[in-house]
Structure 1
Amino acid sequence: MKVTPDTVAAERQWVLDRTPVVVDVVNETRAHLGELFETEVDAITETQFRREVDVVFADGDVAVNVAGYVGLLRELDVARDYPGFVVDEVLGRELAATIAGGQPLALLAQATFHVADVRTHGDDDEAAGVDDLDAALAAGFQTRLPGWSWKEGRSPFSVGDGPTASSETDGSAPGRNR
């Protein structure tokens, strides 16, 4: 696989074209996690998702890695699928973490990937990695986007006058939620 700026642009467009599928997986995952943790989690819109895709791909260092993971997962297919279970899980988990940003959100996205992955199934005519790709995109973007009450406002562990979580997620600057 050779990744060029054109490759990155093409993978970004593929992710944008996948918006309806990924947004459905995000919202289903958020509803499921909300039930598990007995909390309400806001659904996301296609507009929010598309805007956040633009933020992720605007950071060239992140974009090249996201594009590489997306391209690999889109094409990944293993005869009888199960022998490829580890590689698609690793790629999906790392894609979710890369999209989410630095710690602790990266770890949260990796855990969320597994929740989304067991609930996401691709079409028979798609490569085996595509359902992992949908789950990874959903996990990474759902982690970045607002809607979780624990991410709103100032953390009880904050010391000093740094930014609050809500000011980091107001859409004013790339790299928010890190």
Structure 2
Amino acid sequence: MAAELVTADGEWRRASATENADLFWALRGGGGNFGVVTSFTFRLHEVTPVMYGGNLQFPITGGREMLRSLGDIIAAAPDELYVDVAMGTAPENVRWLAFNVCYCGPSGEAERVVGPLRKLGKPLEDTLAATPYDQLQGSGDLRGLSPLGAYGKGGLVYGITPTLVDVMVGATESAPSDGLMMWLQH
């Protein structure tokens, strides 16, 4: 909701939607190097202690069709459904695609909302269940991989296009070794 910072010209400023609005916009993703932020003011959102979520992991075979269908599923889903896609390779050259799911809507609707994801294929792993928030929040942590060297790069896309699907699945299928991971978040 707001940030206090020392700008590149050495001035202390407060930025919010109503005060230094251009600077506030810039701090929210318009670029970098505007200064050093010394404090943030956040809006908190209440979450229930138990949510519905987990992982659906599939073999990469059929990945193109699953990703194309995911676009339609997300478009029809309520805002309370979060899905990210992780794709990668594991030891012994196993290529996989996983949907990391969190549904924070009415508990009685959870199975109906995530049902279309389960119908995309036969999962290698299905951990979707009512889960305490703190466990669900940490479910994607990489454990037991120390030391872990990594290189990350990101970008923004609008929608799941056939080209995006081909690039992501193709890179996963042709990766030379284990250790490749890609994410697609909505």
TM-score w.r.t. length of structure 1? 0.24
TM-score w.r.t. length of structure 2? 0.23
Q: Which has the higher helix share?
A: 1
Q: Which has the higher contact order (CA 8 A, sep 6+)?
A: 2
